[in-house]
Structure 1
Amino acid sequence: MPRLSLVVPVYKVQGYLPECLDSVLGQDYTDFEIIAVDDCSPDGSGAILDQYAERDPRIHVIHLTENVGLGRARNAGLERAEGDYVLFLDSDDTLSDGALAAISDRLDATGDPEILVYDYARTYWDGEVRTNQRADLLSSEGPDVFRLADRPELLDLLQIVWNKAYRRDFISRTGLTFPPGYYEDAPWTFCSLISAERIAVLDRVCVLYRQRREGGNILKTVSRKHFDVFDQYARVFDFIAARPELDEWRGPLFRKMVDHYLTVLERPGRLPQSSRAEFFHRASADYRAHLPEGFQRPEGGRGHKYAMLQRDAYTALTGATAAVKFRRRVRTRAAAAVSRSRRSAIGVYYQSQLRLPLDENLALFSAYWSRSVSCNPAAIAAELARLAPGIRRVWAVRADAVDRVPQGVEYVRVGSRAYWSAVARAKYLVNNVNFADAVVKREGQVHLQTHHGTPLKTMGLDQQKYPASTNMNFAKLLERCDRWDFSLSSNRFSTAVWERVYPCSYTSLETGYPRNDRLVNATADDVRRARAALGLADGTRAVLYMPTHREYQPGFTPALDLARLADELGPDVTLLMRGHYFYGNSPHIAELRRSGRIVDVSGHDRVEELYLAADALVTDYSSAMFDYAVLDRPIIIYAPDWDIYSAVRGTYFNLLEEPPGAVATTQTELIRLLGSREYDGPDATERRAAFRRRFCEFDDGRAAERVVRRVFLGEESMLPFVPFTERSHAPTPDQALELVERA
């Protein structure tokens, strides 16, 4: 039987769950079990739990068949717990290093109290950590073990369950369970503390309480759900009424109740304006129903509000808060002044367009900072033309990229009046990066963020940990991401990353990448046309080399000697080089380019066509590997500087341990692999198969259709995915040649 049982309820936290579990499993103290309760989570959280449970027998997973809410999910975990003590940990929070050892040591030192209260700190998206403002209440001065009557100020700690360890036999003896609702921590916390005979404290931060920017809890939600607080305090006073020996706590808990009601009333962003009077009258009724005999109201303004509650004087209370509202209006006016100044900078014309109605049949597309008509936005635009031809499709294009716009594509130059009109009035804004800071998100507009790759390297807020790789303003980044309504994903891995590193209130769409539909649906003729456009003769083996950018390097430092590579591979191999212009102008390189042995494809707009043409891909850390894997063709990872790149840029997994195929860390090794065809052998094929199942799970050729139906046509149900084992993909160049010759 373990010493500690950690109950972890899980619901829609796939972006944070691995960090939570790792913080527990990484503790130096090991005598624990985790009871993880999947509360019928609609995202990938359940699958993450199962993956962790497969690797560590201390994790026990319960999958609930319906969503029951936080309290009852905790109850399900309690029923399975076997430890001497039960701890609760919310699945977006983490344990601090050494927390479990410190808790266990304190339990031993205090003779196994019924409750141990420990400290916590709040953590924020920008790395800020704020200590508990009432940490002083956890000082170890006085007896090590005590009753609440000896230290009643502990009631002033935040009403939470996850900063305490509870002896399991105490929970059973007291009959404690979590009620349904949204303020379920209040009855559990108060009823357990007033019932315990032996309490101890630990003056140490053991839990890091994540403050989710996108509003991860009810306290940040304007809703009538806050009325649940009445039911929870009714449970507290019912608990006391059934136990006359606890009557001494009626007065202190009455004060906690009234303070809590006033907090809900006074804090902005909780109650809808139309519900405030009703809430006040309910609070007033509770005040009179639970008022203890001889209760003394607090002094000053707080006591005055108590009196108004007792008299049910809602009008008087609204007058008393007029000064607060006035100060709020002053702040609002100041913010409006700043906004007006900003609007002036944007331009009078844009402002005039923002006042016009939205064009319900206009969609504005952009890709790669408006440099091309390509990627996921282009695939979506093509499918939109098929399924909803009445929606006008316009592209935002930089002035220096206009000559690369395909014939027949409507576009506006970025910065022009036509551009600002389109940005202001388009119902749909589609981009694989972010629109400029000056773009205003209008009510009714739909922003679709498609992204442009599966992340191996750290992205978004995770880049804060690697300052050498970026000089990004993260606050501005999140303001841009706040405009998103939808975020596309090609796999569950990406979804979890996006939701954590861009913590905003969008809807994740796990559709597959629309641009990869081409790789699934292309025919033999499509493959041959792609090769012919690059001048590749039949029988020529084409190797596509796509190195990634290294932000920490001032310029492009080639990791390959291209001339040597071409010479070693021989005349039947053509190198397609994409990503950077060739350095140097040696006669040998020039001759290889003239002969077609090396082809610079850096300026090719449609990378999917390059994938179709290539027999194999050589890359280092580029997201190209995730897309090319859809084709199930050989991939070679050439990673001569993995240690440097992973340390400076940061990565989400070890590519050398989980590659999509063969791995080379030197050019000599790469030449040997390519020359021996070992890169397409059984070992490489097995690695590629595992990689494809993990990262190409949604790419079945219908991603663009899913997006258009969900975002533009408003269909709620997604098209079913073709089972992975039944999917097709474009034929290889050899297969395409064989099929054409057969025909």
Structure 2
Amino acid sequence: MTLVVPTYNVQGYLRECLDSVLHQDFTDFEILAVNDCSPDASGAILDEYAALDPRVRVVHLSENVGLGRARNVGMEHAHGEYLLFLDSDDTLTPGALGAIADRLEATKDPDVLVFDYDRTHWDGKSVRNLLHEHLRKAEASGAFPLTRHPELLDLLQVVWNKAYRREFVIEHGFTFPPGYYEDAPWTFCSLMTAENIATLHLVCVHYRQRREGGNILRTTSRKHFDVFDQYDRVFAYLDATPALELWRADMFRKMTDHYLTILEHPNRLPREARSEFFQRAAADYQRREPAGFVRPGGSRGHKYQLMGRGSYSGLRGVKTVAKARSAAKQHGRRQVTRAKRSVMGVYYHSQLRLPLDENLAVFSSYWSSGYACNPAAIDAALAEWAPHIRRVWVVKPRDRHRVPDGVDVVLAGSREYWAAVARAKYMVNNVNFANAVVKREGQIHLQTHHGTPLKAMGLDQQKYPAGATMDFEALMERCDRWDFSITSNRFSTAVWDRVYPCSYTAIETGYPRNDILLNATAADVLRARRALGLADGTTAVLYAPTHRDYEHEFVPRLNLEQLAEELGTDFTVLVRGHYFYRHTTGDTHHGDARIVDVSGHPEVEQLYLAADALVTDYSSSMFDYANLDRPIVALTEDWAVYSAVRGTYFDLPKEAPGAVAGSQQELTEIFRSGAWCDDEAARRRAAFRERFCDFDDGHAAERVVRRVFLGEAQEALPPVVPLAERKPAPSPSTLLLNAVPSPRGATTASGPRSELLPG
């Protein structure tokens, strides 16, 4: 069988879709994927899968032709006996293809097999097709003509819950028309024509209900007028096929119901187009009503009557009554909303009524705990590129000392804070602002994030124990405020697109905080080491483990004293605890001078510059540090537990950016043997960099400021420097190998970008 998978703007969902097919226990199939000139990374993902599995074939279209015609292209290249159509954000259930194949064989190869589906929502809920009993009832009949079970016409008018015998499709010349609602003529005409239909009362497809985008039914557009063309095609087919005349009344009923559904939906038609749509619908009703047609009873029949009369005002009156009833039910909800607003305070709401300050930007980082990360780098770039914009940082009172002198601060929860968040044109954060913050019209929220995700994030956390206590609805409401979302690589873009399904614009600029890793000079590297008290001859290893959701304080996985002892006097271990845990500012030496606690150091990027190598477990620090092209060792002793509890996006032990240690003993041996920096480690690091260092080229902050704050078009921004052409900050080992003493006792580093440091 052939699965035709049209693809457009689904980079966040496509892998899951393809995996759901390729991991089936039934293997006699091909995937015919059609890249409908998708502007995102979907085409590259398809090529990646095709290179790994010969069952995947890809057709790349040079222009966007739409869903229906992309399916037609797929059919032209298909080889399978049966055609299945799978939308690229949906998935097959485990065992679906085997069950479909068995049912086709048991019913002696029918023209059409109809199987069941469920709707999977963003909050993890699944709802089975409401008319699934039609399938169960028909299943006992084996193969049958539609006249035996006409209720199948009432199933959702979609193509992806059916398997079609390819010769049957070719014989009758079925193709998909252009425009919205292209499934209607295909579905009705194929079912009416089929001599043998079979059903499978089994959920075979998870029909994804995307929270934002991806579904024409959620778009407000005149494109919904395409439905008239689709029913013109249905009735033209009936007119050309006398044997199908018995279905005319049913098609008239389906047409009328479809028109009413579009009219009654509040967000499909532009307000000014509704009357015009009704008049066209009424005209179709009047010219196509079959002789002797019996209208349905109740309110639905009344709507038929109003359409037959062409009475738009009458239909609107029916809708008004329904809205009044709905409004009464919503009264309680409004009361709750008012109560919430009162908590915010009268002062905040008075500020919300004042004009926005077009030249004010509010910054926050890590839940208002200091001046750091991408927001800090953007702040610095803003001072250079747009000095007319005033910059204010939100910090908690206990973290005031974490903000450098000269930075304007408002304390979280103060009157100054509420005034700032109410009136600022720009809001910048690497997490989310508090629930109580109202997104104003004209305000711009910039989400910078604070790492590349190895662990499950956003809605994906619903699948794992670590997300059990999270309020995902509240999370989505916070994310709805975003206007822009920064990404440092295409991998992140795809993940954020899926796990934060909101209507923001993704900007692939790179992470501003990593600019320094590409722009730092030899002098900067040596200065970073001297600030930490590192001797010139020492190899500095930065140990930066991540947070575990099931632990409440920082628990090193290593016996640091033992590690320092076993590595010897040529090594110094810098220990960086996760920011979730409270640390004092500054660096602390343990009893052993070769161990330095840098958990309280205000700039992790300075630690990256100073370190010869990074040892981490599952921290996003590996993605940032990889930009330096220096050795990384992954410590994965509790990988099985961590990946099961938190969830991960790839198998780190297999795809690590360097050597992998499953224990402290293995870690020690990796450093003793030189495996931490050998050719194999370099090969793995190169593959990792190719995958995850897409956009970090030293110009990220400039791109962000020019795109978000100065309003420049994406095309006007500096192009990303190719990975092979980038020159990261020189490594300490290179500098120290080439260093020679100067006559004044200073050190001259003759490595890349060497500069003279004052003694």
Q: Same fold (TM over 0.5)?
A: yes
Residue equivalent to 1:587: none
* TM superposition score normalised by structure 1: 0.96
Equivalent residue in structure 2 for 1:102, among 78, 99, 109: 99
Assess if the C-alpha contact under 8 Å between 1:563 and 1:592 holds in 2.
no
The change in CA–CA distance for 1:706 and 1:74 in structure 2 (over 3 A counts) is same
The change in CA–CA distance for 1:592 and 1:535 in structure 2 (over 3 A counts) is closer
Residue equivalent to 2:19: 22
CA distance in 2: counterparts of 1:592 and 1:154, whole angstroms: 75
Assess if the C-alpha contact under 8 Å between 2:139 and 2:198 holds in 1.
no
Equivalent residue in structure 2 for 1:50, among 26, 47, 51: 47
C-alpha distance after superposition, 1:19-65 (max 9, x if no partner): 11111111111110000111111111111111111111000011111
Equivalent residue in structure 2 for 1:649, among 646, 649, 653: 646
The change in CA–CA distance for 1:249 and 1:547 in structure 2 (over 3 A counts) is same
Query: What SS does the aligned partner of 2:83 have?
Result: strand
Residue equivalent to 1:568: 566
Equivalent residue in structure 2 for 1:73, among 70, 73, 78: 70
CA distance in 2: counterparts of 1:307 and 1:741, whole angstroms: 89
Query: What SS does the aligned partner of 1:697 have?
Result: coil
Letter in 2 for 1:295: F
Residue equivalent to 1:632: 629
Query: What SS does the aligned partner of 1:471 have?
Result: coil
Whether 1:294 aligns to 2:311 is no
C-alpha distance after superposition, 1:677-703 (max 9, x if no partner): 221000000000000110111111111
| Matches for 1:85-234 after TM superposition, within 5 Å | 85-139=82-136, 140=138, 143-234=141-232
CA distance in 2: counterparts of 1:514 and 1:468, whole angstroms: 29
Letter in 1 for 2:199: V
Q: After TM superposition, give the deviation of residue 580 of structure 1 in Å.
A: 6.0
Q: After TM superposition, give the deviation of residue 652 of structure 1 in Å.
A: 1.1
Q: After TM superposition, give the deviation of residue 655 of structure 1 in Å.
A: 0.9
Equivalent residue in structure 2 for 1:371, among 362, 369, 372: 369
Assess if the C-alpha contact under 8 Å between 2:588 and 2:598 holds in 1.
no
CA distance in 2: counterparts of 1:469 and 1:165, whole angstroms: 37
Q: After TM superposition, give the deviation of residue 591 of structure 1 in Å.
A: 11
Residue equivalent to 1:270: 268
Structure 1 residues 266-275 or 540-549, which shifts more?
266-275
Query: What SS does the aligned partner of 1:601 have?
Result: strand
CA distance in 1: counterparts of 2:190 and 2:196, whole angstroms: 11
Residue equivalent to 2:38: 41
Whether 1:606 aligns to 2:598 is no
Equivalent residue in structure 1 for 2:241, among 234, 240, 243: 243
Residue equivalent to 1:723: 722
Assess if the C-alpha contact under 8 Å between 1:512 and 1:703 holds in 2.
yes
Consecutive unaligned residues of structure 2, counting only runs of 5 or more, are 582-586, 740-747, 751-755
Structure 1 residues 298-307 or 198-207, which shifts more?
298-307
CA distance in 2: counterparts of 1:722 and 1:141, whole angstroms: 59
C-alpha distance after superposition, 1:650-686 (max 9, x if no partner): 2111111111011111212212222232210000000
Q: After TM superposition, give the deviation of residue 271 of structure 1 in Å.
A: 1.8
Q: After TM superposition, give the deviation of residue 540 of structure 1 in Å.
A: 2.2
Query: What SS does the aligned partner of 1:321 have?
Result: helix
CA RMSD of aligned residues (A): 1.7
| Matches for 1:147-546 after TM superposition, within 5 Å | 147-468=145-466, 471-546=469-544
The change in CA–CA distance for 1:111 and 1:741 in structure 2 (over 3 A counts) is closer
Whether 1:593 aligns to 2:590 is yes
Letter in 1 for 2:492: S
Assess if the C-alpha contact under 8 Å between 1:493 and 1:695 holds in 2.
yes
CA distance in 1: counterparts of 2:545 and 2:179, whole angstroms: 52
Letter in 2 for 1:238: A
Assess if the C-alpha contact under 8 Å between 1:469 and 1:552 holds in 2.
no
Aligned residues: 733
Assess if the C-alpha contact under 8 Å between 1:114 and 1:170 holds in 2.
yes
Assess if the C-alpha contact under 8 Å between 2:561 and 2:592 holds in 1.
no
Letter in 1 for 2:730: P
C-alpha distance after superposition, 1:542-591 (max 9, x if no partner): 1111011111124333211111111222223221111069x9xxxxxx99
Assess if the C-alpha contact under 8 Å between 1:525 and 1:736 holds in 2.
no
Assess if the C-alpha contact under 8 Å between 2:222 and 2:269 holds in 1.
yes
Q: After TM superposition, give the deviation of residue 462 of structure 1 in Å.
A: 1.5
CA distance in 2: counterparts of 1:122 and 1:664, whole angstroms: 43
Letter in 1 for 2:721: V
C-alpha distance after superposition, 1:493-518 (max 9, x if no partner): 11111111112121211111111111
CA distance in 2: counterparts of 1:316 and 1:244, whole angstroms: 36
CA distance in 2: counterparts of 1:591 and 1:230, whole angstroms: 74
Assess if the C-alpha contact under 8 Å between 1:123 and 1:129 holds in 2.
yes
Letter in 2 for 1:248: L
Q: After TM superposition, give the deviation of residue 192 of structure 1 in Å.
A: 0.8
Query: What SS does the aligned partner of 1:518 have?
Result: helix
Residue equivalent to 1:735: 734
CA distance in 1: counterparts of 2:351 and 2:588, whole angstroms: 55
The change in CA–CA distance for 1:468 and 1:321 in structure 2 (over 3 A counts) is closer
Structure 1 residues 55-64 or 243-252, which shifts more?
243-252
Query: What SS does the aligned partner of 1:730 have?
Result: coil
Consecutive unaligned residues of structure 1, counting only runs of 5 or more, are 584-589
Q: After TM superposition, give the deviation of residue 595 of structure 1 in Å.
A: 6.3
CA distance in 1: counterparts of 2:749 and 2:365, whole angstroms: 38
CA distance in 2: counterparts of 1:387 and 1:460, whole angstroms: 33
Letter in 2 for 1:733: P
Assess if the C-alpha contact under 8 Å between 2:13 and 2:88 holds in 1.
yes
CA distance in 2: counterparts of 1:468 and 1:19, whole angstroms: 21
Q: After TM superposition, give the deviation of residue 629 of structure 1 in Å.
A: 0.4
Assess if the C-alpha contact under 8 Å between 1:524 and 1:735 holds in 2.
no
Q: After TM superposition, give the deviation of residue 448 of structure 1 in Å.
A: 1.0
Letter in 2 for 1:735: T
C-alpha distance after superposition, 1:436-491 (max 9, x if no partner): 11111111111111110111111112212221465211111111111111111111
CA distance in 1: counterparts of 2:698 and 2:392, whole angstroms: 24
| Percent of paired sites with the same residue | 65
CA distance in 2: counterparts of 1:25 and 1:141, whole angstroms: 27
C-alpha distance after superposition, 1:376-409 (max 9, x if no partner): 1111111122111111111111111111211111
Letter in 1 for 2:320: A
C-alpha distance after superposition, 1:604-634 (max 9, x if no partner): 1211111001111111111100100000011
CA distance in 1: counterparts of 2:175 and 2:27, whole angstroms: 27
CA distance in 2: counterparts of 1:75 and 1:150, whole angstroms: 30
Assess if the C-alpha contact under 8 Å between 1:469 and 1:551 holds in 2.
no
Runs of 4 or more off by more than 6 Å in structure 1?
Answer: none
